[in-house]
Amino acid sequence: MPRFAANISFLFSELDLPERIDAAAEAGFEAVEILFPYDTPVPALRRRLEATGLPLALINAPPPNYTGGTPGFAALPGGEERFRHDFARVLRYAGALGPRHIHIMAGAAEGPEARAAFLRNLAWAAAEAPAQSLTIEPINPVDMPGYFLADFDLAAEIITEVGAPNLGLQFDAYHAHRITGDVLGTWERHRALVRHVQIADHPGRHEPGSGEIDFPAFFARLDADGYEGFVSAEYHPAGSTAEGLGWLGKLAAR
């Protein structure tokens, strides 16, 4: 059975962020991920991670764009200086909190200049933090219109072209379903590049088992393929988080 992490930017939202770590531990999750921890004091998060013993699976980079733009800007032509400045802040947080992965968000952009900028920024980041695992994630264009990285084949091309041993693929089953309609087939094509997995069902981006995706088959494939990373629950609870955790209980009962 996969090892499940709670994305506490989505789950347990009725609690303060540090308290969500305790809630995740009590619910039986084996790790947490936080999309953007940058507004929460590091000591508060670190205390709860240490007290629960839960590792931090992932954070996003760069810090969010508070002017209302699409999250991320690593693929924006001409934004290299800004990217490097903000990535330094990300690494300070990573040094204090120890995330297993840092997801570098491409942002809204298009065309060959955006691709070149993304390649330059990824290559620089991989060299700047050679001991840190970095990921990129295809995000479907319905949920995030204009996002540069909306194709798994493009993501694989970019990872291969950068050629850094610490850069890999973040595989979100929800986005795979919306982009390709074939979660298992997309996994099979790209599983060798995958560092981190996230899950939510479709439609609604709710709990696994609430929609169209065959999660028992997906989890069985992860086990059969020897995937050893975390599988993070990154979904919008249909009700309260606790009420919707039946899927996790069923898996644990196995």
- Looking at 3-151, list the stretches that DSSP marks H as alpha helix, in order from N- to C-terminal side: 17-27, 42-52, 80-97, 112-128
Q: Say what percent of the chain tops pLDDT 90.
A: 92
Helices (H) and strands (E) counted in the chain, each on its own, are: 9, 8
Is the pLDDT assigned to residue 36 strictly greater than 80?
Answer: yes
Tell me which residue of 34, 32, 37, 28 sits closest to 54, measured CA to CA.
Answer: 32
Could you tell me the CA-to-CA distances from 178 to 15, 35, 87, 135, 168 in Å, in that order? 30, 21, 29, 20, 21
Domain count, the chain: 1
Domain with 79 in it: what CATH number? 3.20.20.150
- Helix (H, G, I), strand (E, B), or coil: what is residue 1? coil
**Alpha carbon 172 to its chain's center:** 7
In terms of DSSP H, where are the helices of the chain? 17-27, 42-52, 80-97, 112-128, 152-162, 173-180, 183-190, 215-224, 246-253
Q: What is the average pLDDT across 193-197? A: 98
Digit-coded pLDDT (tens) for 68-96: 566 789 999 999 999 999 999 999 999 99
| pLDDT average, residue stretch 103-122 | 97
pLDDT band (50, 70, 90) for residue 9: very high
Q: Mean pLDDT across the stretch 31-48?
A: 96
59-63: average pLDDT:
91
Residue-number span of the structural domain to which 204 is assigned: 3-253
Catalytic residues: 137, 234
Best CA proximity match to 110, nearest among 137, 72, 149, 141: 149
Q: Are residues 76 and 110 in contact, defined by beta-carbon separation less than 8 angstroms?
A: no
The first and second tokens of residue 149, run together, are: 């990285």
Q: Is the pLDDT of residue 219 over 70?
A: yes
Residue identified by tokens 């610490």 is: 166
**What is the pLDDT at residue 160?**
98
